[in-house]
Amino acid sequence: MVAKALSLLNRLGEHPHGAAAAELARECQLPLSTAHRLLGSLVRDGFLEFESKSRRYTLGLQVFVLGQSVAQARGLTGMARPILEEVSALTGEVTLMAVREGDQQLYVHSVQGPQGVSVIGRPGTHGPLHCTAQGKVLVAMAPQAVREDLLSRLELTAKGPNCITDRQHFRAAIDEVRTRGWALADQEHEVGIRAVAVPVPGPDGVALAAISTAAPAYRTSIEQLIEYVPVLTAAARRIAVRMPSR
């Protein structure tokens, strides 16, 4: 039953405006009666809220409380954001921070720059590893066994026009990231968006997280993005000092 309840929670996280019991039951392949019973328990414990007028369920504050506890334990709360804000002030562009969660990256911070640009990366959402600058850093700077596993089986789904879909090409790209210590993505995830990323280094060389600068391709060249690498690297080192090792 625990697995089924967690399945409902995870699925509801994909519905920012909530979902009805029948919809959740269908998506989680549960009998409606089972879904109703589990949803009721989650509401009583504060993990979900139920709007009687719309008959829809939404995530409750207890989920936020748990999320904050995890973020605090991993050093992902207030200490990083001021540093990311400094980066955005210097570059004029959006600064993102993400950690690896399984076969995906989890965005934990997004700070808009003065120029502003809409990019995929809302905190709390997931993104691919193979076609983003941050994702490539998180793969390249993962423990060796994890890195080899990801290189051999990660699904290379086509996203943007320049997305890497060939496994040999992907492996070569990751080797290049390991050699130079930073990664680029040129319209690989989103049309018209370029990004550069660096690792937040742990004491053993494994990335605790990754931070990146993203900008529209029409106003930012690859050469300009590369010029941001020293700024990002300095910021990443400052964040690393404040983050607990896992």
The domains of the chain, with CATH numbers, are 2-64 (1.10.10.10), 74-242 (3.30.450.40)
Other beta carbons within 10 Å of 246: 11
Element spanning 107, H or E: strand 104-111
DSSP 244: P
Buried/exposed 78-90: b ≥16 CB within 10 Å, e otherwise? eebbebbebbbee
More confident residue, 245 or 103: 103
Looking at residue 95, its pLDDT comes to 95
pLDDT band at 2 (very low <50, low <70, confident <90, very high): confident
- Over the stretch 151-196, which tens digit does the pLDDT of each residue have? 999 999 999 999 999 999 999 999 999 999 999 999 999 999 999 9
pLDDT band at 126 (very low <50, low <70, confident <90, very high): confident
pLDDT band at 114 (very low <50, low <70, confident <90, very high): confident
Looking at residue 71, its pLDDT comes to 61
Nearby residues of 9 by Cβ (< 8 Å), 6 or more positions away: 42, 47, 48, 59, 63
Nearby residues of 73 by Cβ (< 8 Å), 6 or more positions away: 244
Looking at residue 78, its pLDDT comes to 64
Measure the CA–CA gap between 35 and 154, rounded to whole angstroms: 32
Looking at residue 64, its pLDDT comes to 64
Looking at residue 210, its pLDDT comes to 97
More confident residue, 219 or 185: 185
Looking at residue 10, its pLDDT comes to 85
Strands 104-111 and 56-59, bridge-based pairing: unpaired
Measure the CA–CA gap between 62 and 231, rounded to whole angstroms: 37
pLDDT band at 74 (very low <50, low <70, confident <90, very high): low
pLDDT band at 137 (very low <50, low <70, confident <90, very high): very high
Q: How big is the chain, counted in residues?
A: 246
Asked if 131 and 163 count as a contact pair (C-beta separation under 8 A), the reply is yes
